[in-house]
Structure 1
């Protein structure tokens, strides 16, 4: 691995934690991001000559922290010597715990971003920006809005936190419920971006998946009586268990029906199923628990032919009543097609196409193309595959769709 690739890997693994730590220390979101970026630039300059430090995350944190201190010191005038000393002591002191006892800076930051004073759409977007380092364009794509719109949301959210003096901490137990929904949404989107990247050369960003699972585990420990926290953790584990089967050794996408199930992580499947069964016994089902049940249907089937698509379609029907979204409707259409035939699924997909809610979403024409292919309507399938190919966000998906397109145009 080249130094550039190694540093990039460290960046993906450590950025969120370091940014969260700098925000805790300085209270300045933009300064934190700039100093972390500068620290990685220093690494690119020095590590090829000096070698990668034994603890690269600690090295980067120290460089970023010192850079932040230097910038704050330069802003101070000669009459603020006392303040400078106070700042230095703040940077050197161990992190104090709030009432929650949570030491994870990333989780603290997520709760800060999910303060009820912020608009719901801004909470999730801001967290993804500062925790993952996703570009504004990538986040805009995930929310299906323009980059300009997302830029305005992020700027306003940061200003709101600063102007309203929103504290950087996990709130006391009696205030947790008002932020739970947004925090769960953030963690799920974080995992989803790792499991199926919204842009770039790679379909799967493993570090994002691992970070999301770690944070969901911490959250479930913080809120052991919250069923949806356990449901979300079960969902992540059941999906992540199948990660190794989703691409082959050459990095090409492998559809579910062709995946080698021996590559799936049976330990994660068992853990996910155990968590799901535990939480379902509480009798308070929610959207994440339903999605975990769907994932369990896939993960526990002995072979593709044994998947209970009728059960999956029924579960998606329940999910629609709980949390109606066009993406959920599209997934339900796929399950209906597998259970009742492609014509039944195509009718649902065509209704979604006419509604226009998923315009620009590549999986809509990709799904339509697959159903048309199964019905041997090759010309229409080719047109739909071409449309999906134009919209597909990652190289892996584009190659897969191009292969499918070639199969119906031979």
Structure 2
């Protein structure tokens, strides 16, 4: 079968809820992927940061294979010998007290919404069914009904209502707006340290630090969605470190498995997580031994192989290279670590045609919000590979 055969199968039998570039991938290693016809591409999306450790990392593969031969799933009706070790290791690495394991990022967000509401009723004393959570305009936290309900992306929510109440949206990066939005019924502020889907939008310096101060003054829980920004992507283990803070609750996923398996987690202090009791929340696959074994090795690889520091160095090299672009239609080049956005002025037109041109030259990336291209390669990228990517982008963008 050739590429068009596979594309035809997808279009014929699959729901049309995605519009991918027409490249059919069949193999990956490190920062490189190959299509069914043997063509080689640099992956500058890293599955939306799910493969921070690079495609098919051998150590994670070995951990997965070994565990799959012993025990894959018990459900949480019984205990397993990987869960406690996963809890201990991720808590020590992130300075957390408690962990709630789930599968996908959206599940982690749904779980934290439930958990923080329960804390609001049982600990803060918010009247029943009156809890409020503050979110930010242009957020992206997933695609479930409750999450798209507080999205400002009309395409994500039109035709899917009615939506659950209890959410207030404010401008991202505006601490005064946060302060004004808090009421006696506010239980949490849910925010991305950097808005990825919105186009790699970086808030003002000190924003998270000020937000944390306001939350503490008002007995409001600060929740950071680090599903994309966490686990090395920005050159720190967690993006919160750039502002020198520790959130009350932190959401991680994607790279928590290195791309091998759906694994996510809510990292929490004991006070909030302590409100959950047996039977009130769970997941058949959440905390399964295969997921835990994979996540344990994925975390070790990040730290032991220096990927986080490499993300900081290579991210700066990538950003510096892009800043030599001369196209007058470029509006802004911004980034932190290996999470980089290249935004064009509206008169440049959509960015997708540029992504198609880059694909033809062997570089895969993704447009977002019309005029912005995201670059987020695996954290194992080398200086020579960064330089090749920058030169390839120059050929297309500067002509």
Q: TM-score, normalised by structure 1?
A: 0.26
TM-score by length of 2: 0.26
Structure with the bigger RCO (C-alpha within 8 Å, sep 6+) is 2
Higher CA-based Rg: 1
More strand by share: 2
Structure number having the greater helix percentage: 1
